[in-house]
Amino acid sequence: MNGEMEKIYRGQTVLIAGAARSGLASAEFLLAHGARVVLTDLKTQNELASSLGALQELARSSGELVLELGGHKPESFRRCQLVIISPGIPRSLPLFEISRQAGIPIIAEVELAFRHLKGNILGITGSNGKTTTTTLVAEFLRGAGLSGYAAGNIGKPLISFAATSTPDDVFAVELSSFQLETIDRFRPFVGAILNLTPDHLDRYRDFDDYAGAKRRIFMNQTAADFAVLNADDPRTVEIAGQMPSSVVYFSRLAEVPKGTFVKAGRVVYRDHRGLIDLFPTDIIQLKGSHNLENVLAACAIALLAGVEPDLLAGVVRGFAGVEHRLEWVAEIDGVQYFNDSKATNVDATIKSLESFPGHILLIAGGRDKGGDFSQLRTLAAQRVKHLIVIGEAAGKIRDALSDVVESSGAASLQEAVLSASRKAAPGDTVLLAPACASFDMFQNYEHRGRVFKDAVRGLAAK
């Protein structure tokens, strides 16, 4: 056990709000270092039983675990020394005001991790493309022989690495706006905002409030750090002058003074050494112009982290993408099926539609996040052959689009897939790109994507 951390947490009561992935990982770390952990969640102990066994076993030998499940106890929010908030819980919840009034710090799991993590952090946020970019950066790091890991809002929570991390480790960390809301000292060596488009407006006052949460990724950087920004996105360009760190751009549309861009069909990088040729764009397997942007961003981040330029091409050539992100599933009777369940906002669905020339049978819908579905009208009219809507937002989507595209509804995703298969002809594409969150019908977007793929494979089996 790390003696320094044991001194910090032994005898301390830490309230963890939310027993999802990051909350459980935080509890494990704190218990292992002697803390009294109060884990609270609206779900009952029966609902969480399969997740709690390892924690309860750990608490028999280290720390103390108190479970407050099936609801929150207000007094626990004032009888602790620290609160760890899970990303899915809004910080505006009135219970947190109890802690604030008592002067108790409220921090994110990534903030807890940063305070104890050794090694460098490459923080990646944005409205879309985070997972693909983070995964590719981690592949670059490993391909270069570095001790590189993908963490954060993808895969393992960052706190899971804290106890065993070394100064040589490099962490590519996907960060959501929810996680960034409650950082304090968190400081990535490289921070990146890939793009900024309206999202999560069911949680934020307006777009500026949402964008402000994203910009917090840079708040602790210094002149020794780097900020990677999308030169093609005016919302990210306008914050470049506010950076305390050194700005590096990526662009698929124009040359940049420092960073990655496309020149004569090749990806190149410009820095103090001049122009460095990296690889031709045609080795990139991923569909869509947005994925070219993701590759450009990942290259810039990796190069700043010390990856040699000549190592990038081999990794890019072998990178086929990430599950649930414009993922090819099958071809059945001449019809292509693609799973883009991660398209959880309108802008992501726009990018998904732009990846195909037309003849699309689009499956969309779920829980509305405050998106403006009318922004889909032009592409729907040009490229969508038929729209099938599901979930809570079905009516709102049809109201926005029914006069520009033929549409129908389905009671389930399986029914939507079957309906699309019946309406499709050879040469068509059936595309799941929901433009909505998944929580009305599914556990998360991964669950939704798996259900879609199972339904498609069921068709193939028949």
Residue 200 has pLDDT above 80, yes or no: no
Bridge partners of 147, per DSSP, are 169
* Pair (334, 309) in one structural domain: no
Q: What is the pLDDT at residue 6? A: 62
- Answer whether residue 5 is part of any domain: no
Q: What average pLDDT score do residues 326-343 get?
A: 96
What distance in Å separates the CA atoms of residue 137 and residue 146, rounded to the nearest whole number?
Answer: 11
The answer on 348 and 210 residing in a single domain is: no
**Rounded Cα distance, 80 and 103, in Å:** 10
Q: What is the CATH number of the domain that holds 301?
A: 3.40.1190.10
**Is the Cβ–Cβ distance between 392 and 367 less than 8 Å?**
yes
Same-domain check for residues 69 and 126: no
Q: For residues 456 and 403, what is the distance between their CA atoms, to the nearest angstrom?
A: 29
Residues 128 and 270 in one domain: yes
Q: Do 249 and 133 share a structural domain?
A: yes
Backbone angles phi, psi at 338, to 5 degrees: -125, 135
- Residue 68 DSSP SS3: strand
What mean pLDDT do residues 94-110 have?
Answer: 97
Looking at the structure, do residues 96 and 118 belong to the same domain, yes or no?
no
Mean pLDDT of the chain: 94
Confidence of residue 8 (pLDDT cuts 50, 70, 90): confident
Specify whether 136 is located in the same domain as 22: no
Least confident of 100-109, 182-191, 285-294, 396-405: 285-294
Residues 291, 172, single domain; the answer is: yes
pLDDT at 4: 63
Asked whether residue 4 is domain-assigned, the answer is: no
Question: Do residues 142 and 285 share a domain?
Answer: yes
How confident is the model over 17-69, as pLDDT tens digits? 999 999 999 999 999 999 999 999 999 999 999 999 999 999 999 999 999 99
Tell me which residue range forms the domain holding 346. Answer: 327-461
Dihedral sign for Cα 87, 88, 93, 98, please: negative
Over residues 252-260, the mean pLDDT reads: 97
pLDDT, one tens digit per residue, over 280-322 is 999 999 988 899 999 999 999 999 999 999 999 999 999 988 8
Assess whether 160 and 285 both reside in one domain. Answer: yes
pTM metric for this prediction: 0.85
- C-alpha–C-alpha distance, residues 300 and 325, integer Å: 21
Number of domain units in the chain: 3
Last residue of a domain, one of 298, 317, 336: 317
- 41 and 139 in a common domain: no
Q: Would you state the pLDDT for residue 276?
A: 97
**Can you say how many angstroms the Cα of residue 330 is from the centroid of all Cα atoms in its chain?**
25
- What is the mean pLDDT of the segment spanning 416-426? 97
Query: Is pLDDT at 2 greater than 60 in this prediction?
Result: no
pLDDT in tens, 63-84: 999 999 999 999 999 999 999 9
Tell me, what CATH number does 333's domain have? Answer: 3.90.190.20
Sort strands 266-271 and 259-263 into parallel, antiparallel or unpaired: antiparallel
pLDDT for 5: 63
Distance set, CA 361 to CA 197, 373, 411, 433 (Å)? 25, 17, 17, 10
Mean pLDDT, range 152-156, rounded to an integer: 87
Indicate the SS3 state at residue 115. Answer: coil
Cα–Cα distances in angstroms (integers) from residue 230 to residues 7, 88, 233, 264, 268, in the given order: 43, 27, 6, 20, 15
pLDDT at 1: 42
Q: Are 181 and 91 in contact (CB under 8 A)?
A: yes
The answer to whether position 285 is within a domain reads yes
Q: Which pLDDT belongs to residue 259?
A: 98
Residue 6 lies in a domain: no
